[in-house]
């Protein structure tokens, strides 16, 4: 179980760190758009759309990393006062019920939308836009899949916390660790 947790955590940690560089790329592209527009009176729909693509990739590929880092919204007023076992139980139930249902709903609601886009190889509505809208829409399926994978690791950490089997050096990685 620990090896699987470590593998999933390493995957999402690496992916999250790599994707974080897209934020810099997005800022640089936005700067380029502004310079081209106001200094040279040149506009580029493809560059403008690339900012949207970068933003979408940061969000969809970064959500599982954020989950791993315990960065999602939580009501800590009561949670921090609970015992580690109670926190583990809340985290396990939250992952099992809310995360899995939400991720499942996103997959269910997005599947046809993404499939049609892939079938027609959807591109930008603008003639000079990016021709890869279908790839962008595919990220709607990547988001819940990565969340489910990280959710499995978080559920296993919670189970270890409930059972009291989490190793001392893994305590900092467990849900709710300060």
| Reported pTM | 0.86
What CA–CA distance (Å, rounded) separates 155 from 95? 6
Please measure the distance between the N-terminal and C-terminal CA atoms of the chain and give it in whole angstroms.
Answer: 23
pLDDT digits (tens, 9 = 90+) for 41-50: 999 999 999 9
Please list the pLDDT of the chain residue by residue as tens digits (178 residues).
899 999 999 999 999 999 999 999 999 999 999 999 999 999 999 999 999 999 999 999 999 999 999 888 777 778 888 999 999 999 999 999 999 999 999 999 999 999 999 999 999 999 999 999 999 999 999 999 999 999 999 999 999 999 988 654 444 454 544 3
| CA-to-CA dists, residue 9 to 5, 58, 151, angstroms | 6, 18, 10
CA 149-153-154 angle, 5° bins: 110
Dihedral sign computed on CA atoms, order 124, 130, 131, 137: negative
């Amino acid at each position: 179980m620990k090896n699987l947790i470590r593998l999933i955590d390493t995957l999402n940690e690496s992916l999250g760190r790599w994707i974080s560089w897209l934020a810099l790329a997005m800022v640089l592209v936005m700067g380029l758009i502004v310079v081209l527009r106001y200094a040279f009176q040149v506009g580029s729909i493809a560059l403008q759309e690339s900012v949207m693509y970068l933003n979408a990739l940061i969000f969809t590929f970064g959500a599982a990393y954020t989950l791993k880092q315990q960065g999602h919204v939580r009501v800590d007023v009561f949670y921090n006062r609970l015992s580690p076992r109670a926190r583990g139980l809340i985290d396990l139930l939250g992952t099992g019920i809310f995360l899995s249902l939400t991720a499942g709903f996103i997959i269910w609601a997005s599947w046809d939308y993404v499939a049609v886009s892939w079938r027609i190889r959807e591109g930008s509505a603008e003639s000079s836009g990016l021709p890869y809208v279908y790839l962008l829409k595919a990220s709607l399926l990547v988001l819940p899949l990565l969340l489910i994978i990280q959710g499995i690791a978080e559920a296993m950490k919670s189970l270890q916390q409930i059972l009291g089997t989490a190793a001392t050096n893994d305590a900092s990685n467990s849900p709710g660790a300060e």
